[in-house]
Amino acid sequence: MTHFRPYQEKLIQDLRESIRRGNKRILLCAPTGSGKTVLFTYMAVEHAKKGGKVLILTHRGELLKQAAGGLEYAQLITAETREIDLENPFSIGMVETIFRRAGKLKKFLDSRTLVIADECHLENFTKVFPFIPETAAVIGATATPYRKSGQNCLSEFYSDLVQSVDTPDLIEQGYLSRAVTYSVPINLKGLRKSGEDYDTAAYYAENKTYEGVVDNYLKHTPNGKAILFASNIASSKEVCKEFQNRGIPAKHVDGGSLDRAQIFEWFSGIKSGVLCNCGIATTGFNQKDVDTIILYRATVSLPLFLQMCGRGSRVIPDVKNTFYILDFGMNVERLGFWQMPRTWSLKKQQKRQKEKGAPPMRTCKNCEALIPAKMKVCPECKHEEIKAKGKNESVILEQLLELPPSARNKFAKTAPFPVKVEMCKAKLVNPLYVCRTFTYKEEMREFQKAMGYKNGWIHYNKDIYERLH
């Protein structure tokens, strides 16, 4: 019997409810590390029990083996496959293989009653849809249902999106690790782009950024088990060599590496070291003890950013519940903290992040962690930033007594945190109104403490608390 986490049970319930409403093509959205493979394996087994036949589509060999892990008798369809058993209820295929051989596989595809697409946000799944019979149900699974301008919109292929859990929820419930971010400012102005992303290789080489990467690794995450993401092979090899020269175990892997399996086996067995890669360890790479993510590239892609950071988010009970992001591409400042809440849509939202913008950030002067600008106390080292005061706060409060409530509210909206607290204590403004001016949950927790409220106060006002980042 499969035992699910509460949020997984909710996702399954929501999927069933969507099917009851008549949807046959549904996108399942859940964060990296939430157990999507477990969910769609369960769905495949349940469907087969009712006489159905399932095809699971994936885009990489590592994901093929991972998906097959939960289905003992599944047949794998790769470029080397010559015969296909039409009666086998479970088939797992490489999407490119299925597309290239779609004509020869027509009878097989017509026999499938459920198709599951793993990492369905990738556009190469799009070309397989015309060959899926209309009678088959389709469930796409991804942490990042996002399509860029120029790509087919996901709403063309799916009629409903199920998302009932987000990254902050899983962190709070203890199912994902919290992230601590360190960022090294670089000047991206004038850098040319490779495709739609910045080409940082020449900049990093010219400025010897690879030396700074090792310096920061030793400073912030010494002895960490790290995955480094580079924008190209040469850049990955260059920083890998620097790690090795400094006595740190490191290996490079890319799509052309003939010894990929051996390198992954090496990385699985080490306690400390760095896997430098280009385009390999982004999706479906599940190594729970990774505690450091090094972004040795600059991307404008929110899905890619989230997928890279998510490689470090797994939890090991009583061993690991925190991971570290070393950002050398201003990615967090551009796209927001990895742990921010995000609501997805089937429609294209390529301008959404630009319009909303990443929240203001600052670097803690004590520990150098990147934190929300509004936080007076660093959540990592508890250092409190003290700013020079202007007018005496008691004078400000006396002046506010003369103002009408609407003017007090307007003042409280942008007032410094200590002033907001004093205004509430002096009953010049409603505490719940002040809480609505916050951006982060940490601010509301600090407010509860500053006001002397009991711990249950936030629970009674959770409608406000849950809207905060």
pLDDT of residue 353: 42
Would 388 be classed as within a structural domain? no
Query: Domain range holding 400?
Result: 393-465
Would 437 be classed as within a structural domain? yes
Interval 27-50: pLDDT, tens: 999 998 898 888 988 998 999 999
Would 115 be classed as within a structural domain? yes
The residues, ordered by sequence, that sit 6+ positions from 456 with a Cβ below 8 Å of its Cβ are none
pLDDT of residue 389: 46
Task: Determine phi and psi for 238, rounding to 5 degrees.
Answer: -65, -50
Q: Is the pLDDT of residue 391 over 50?
A: no
Would 379 be classed as within a structural domain? no
Interval 330-373: pLDDT, tens: 999 999 999 999 889 888 654 444 445 688 899 998 899 999 98
**Is residue 97 within 8 Å of 79, Cβ to Cβ?**
yes
Claim to verify: residue 188 and residue 324 sit in the same structural domain: yes
Place of tokens 């080292």: 381
Claim to verify: residue 334 and residue 416 sit in the same structural domain: no
pLDDT of residue 292: 98
pLDDT of residue 393: 55
Claim to verify: residue 321 and residue 196 sit in the same structural domain: yes
Claim to verify: residue 31 and residue 148 sit in the same structural domain: yes
Claim to verify: residue 345 and residue 423 sit in the same structural domain: no
The residues, ordered by sequence, that sit 6+ positions from 461 with a Cβ below 8 Å of its Cβ are 432, 435
Would 377 be classed as within a structural domain? no
According to DSSP, the β-strands at 197-198 and 193-194 are: antiparallel
382 SS3 class: coil
Angle between helix axes 417-425 and 441-451 (nearest 10 degrees) is 40
Would 286 be classed as within a structural domain? yes
Claim to verify: residue 241 and residue 318 sit in the same structural domain: yes
Domain count, the chain: 3
Place of tokens 């595809």: 109
Would 418 be classed as within a structural domain? yes
pLDDT of residue 290: 97
CA distance 349 to 352: 5
Claim to verify: residue 144 and residue 212 sit in the same structural domain: no
pLDDT of residue 396: 63
Interval 251-303: pLDDT, tens: 999 988 889 889 999 999 999 999 999 988 887 678 999 999 999 999 988 98
Would 386 be classed as within a structural domain? no
Claim to verify: residue 296 and residue 312 sit in the same structural domain: yes
pLDDT of residue 158: 95
pLDDT of residue 62: 52
pLDDT of residue 69: 53
Claim to verify: residue 187 and residue 320 sit in the same structural domain: yes
Interval 196-225: pLDDT, tens: 788 888 889 988 999 999 999 999 999 999
Task: Determine phi and psi for 141, rounding to 5 degrees.
Answer: -120, 130
DSSP code for 377? B
- Average of per-residue pLDDT across 238-257: 95
pTM for the model = 0.77
Domain boundary among 146, 165, 184: 165
**Is residue 35 within 8 Å of 176, Cβ to Cβ?**
no
CA distance 432 to 462: 11
Claim to verify: residue 367 and residue 457 sit in the same structural domain: no
Give kind and range of the element (H or E) at residue 162: strand 160-162
Interval 42-98: pLDDT, tens: 998 999 999 999 999 987 655 555 554 557 778 888 888 888 888 899 998 889 999
Claim to verify: residue 214 and residue 316 sit in the same structural domain: yes
Interval 396-451: pLDDT, tens: 676 777 788 888 888 888 888 888 888 888 888 999 999 999 988 888 988 998 89
CATH of the domain at 352: 3.40.50.300
Provide the pLDDT confidence category of residue 390 given band limits of 50, 70 and 90: very low
